[in-house]
Structure 1
């Protein structure tokens, strides 16, 4: 075991040789530990103190040793940012993620006051918010918290961690072996170890292993040289192919020029086609207008045709009626002609009788003058009857002439109607409606 305060001396030397760009202390307590005093002595500027216990954090804020320039955070730190079970111990410095009752081998009288779930932050998030290359983990379990640093641990040059000295097997991860194996794999070498006031608990100091760094640098240099060689080969290949590409570019430019000329020609032809299309569109529009006009005329003709058909039907009906009336008129005319002939014959017979009576009366006149007046009266009566018969005969003749005139008019109308019917039938044959 190293002598007391040997670790602090190492820290002083390291601080003088290479001052840290930032210091983060997880588990700072109330600030009464020698580590916080040493930070004040160094007049460190970029310092972050993290404490999970709320009571301890309140005392830390009021500690006059703490600089106003330092950043204080009341956070629970764990391997991952998640909700964790926090144990509040009767010994405030041992409150945290480890069950205090499991530490009774080093603290026989320690007990748990209460447990509660709290939201934790991973160390990587804290280092992202407050970049630091010196990291002090003055709480348990240090290994779990350092695992939460992830790749950010590669930027850490010094780690001081709290561990159990000679831990039981169930608490092996709280001891030195697991922590040392973890940090050495990441280029950190153990520098010294020191007991605390409790002989079961100690502090171990790790610093960046220069040989590891040199090997890493050599590896990086070899990798960079390999990349450089590859870049040279790529450059040679690029230069070799550049000329080919230049020729291809020239060829492409020539083809592009030809294509541009063709495009211009195609554009002119396209413009001409557009003009033709516009002209054709105008013609189509005119034809459409004419077609619409023709359709309107055709619809009008169809309407007229339907009207003519209806007129034909009406004329046909009227012709049928006129024919019937003509037949009736002809029958009436025939009857009247027959009646007139009979009346004329009767008149002729009566005229003959009157003439015979007149001759007879003339003979009687010569025989005696007594009956002369009676004879004259009889002659006058016969003359009146004769005139009446003659007037009736004239009236019948006039009626006959009127019937003949009506018959002629009916004949003319029948002929005209028949001509219209023939015309309509001709239109039906020559003017068929398209489907």
Structure 2
């Protein structure tokens, strides 16, 4: 790039901060105005925060993004923040809020569908009075020589810049290089380039954004060209002065000639006036003749109009009759088609009734055969019962004989009983006297025994307390052992986290074929699942957001996914929950889970406090504000993550969800499957398939411990019928093989 005598060569693709540093050295900013500052996460705010530049004006029209901007720069009192909508004029304008807040502005989202196919209009805000760039320049008292327009349409805003462009040394605008978009929208590079070049600014570089059709165009004032134009203007001024002197002399000569010519024209005018009077008299005679002819012509036209009206009425009546006849014929044809359809339907019903009658005849025949078989069996059973009754009668007679013998024996036994009762009464008297003596002895023994029992009870209570303590310690040891076993097994499973996930990828591949998706992984661990998706090449990932709260796992994640480059790869060391808060995590490799919030007293050596955010707030960083594939595996905190994505779910802006659930209602390692299913079905999500089923291996029972559920949103399922989708994919594979 040449700018005056400056030669800049910064390699193949320097970052935008490098260009800003070079321009800072060549044309130091006296003040910076940024329109479309967003939430403050853009490159402009980050670059300005590391430089001592004042004044700085940040303007943002979206209310939500402006609140984020205020919170981010709360401690910076030297910068000026403005919540205004900038337009070409100060008239009332409409501000369109898009599903992706970055694209909210003066353009209707439908006009950007070529860039963002899924971009939708959320609402329209009527602004009573906008503000122009020139008005902002006046408020800054002319202390601005750097201008950044990080919004669309840049050209429309520049039309209201006025004196700002003549006083600006550096301008950065967001432009569209795609020629499919209309240049009338004010977003194309050519329109901005023409306006800025006219103001003496030259485009020095383009820096592409994540979307290939979007870029930042950097313009700088060409000082060499400006000096050359000044010299050229001076020479042109001297030349113009000479031309003016020569024109003054020629003007004086022309005035003398003009005076002579005026006198000659006056003479000619007098002659023409006499001729005009004669022509007026002739015109009056012609006007009288024309009036007579007009009367005759008017009468003829009236007669002709009357004739045409009668013809038009007759023709309209014939057309109406033809129209009614045509409608009657169409009605007859329609009735005929309906009768034919009814006849076909009756024939089909007749065939179905014949088939049903044949089936009923077969069933009746089988029932009759079964009834005959049943009657034969009943006859056999009745014969067997008659034989059994005969045997029972004989047995009753035998029992009656035995009963008589037993009655005689019972009378003899009653007599013996009376004799024994007398003997027992005598023995009872002797026994009672012995018992009274024994009671006295036992009372003394019981008092001594009670004292020994009390002492033994105290000893036994102490023993039981010791046994309870030993038992509790043993339970703790067993629980720790099971936790260690579970952690080891889970680590082993997470180490090869793609076991079973390949089946899920094979199942959804036909539904995502030919699409470039946005993939979000909540609980990415070290990135095994993401790497598996990219390496399998079955699904094309355009944009990925990998979220991992464990700092150690996050370091492995960032280093492990470097070779799996895609157009837009982002990693985050944070957590996802239902509110913005700080939660305490137990950092245990793949088993990292929420243990408490920061107010809890639970602290251990392997815990750490992690900032958490909601997916709804986080979605502003996603292209189109949508997620094509969402994976959630955060060890029991899944339901809270879903509650934090309620707006995305309500608007069906997530197509596919792959989530881990548990089947133990009192378990804490996974979210209970019924809670997750009821929550998602409330927003129209239903289960597509189940993967990675694992039994209760700790207790070695056949009960199901956990699995992964795959959910489809209602619009996605309706727009992708199963049979049609699979058949299309099969045909595509056949074409690829050929």
| TM-score relative to the length of structure 2 | 0.30
Q: Which has the higher contact order (CA 8 A, sep 6+)?
A: 1
Larger Rg: 1
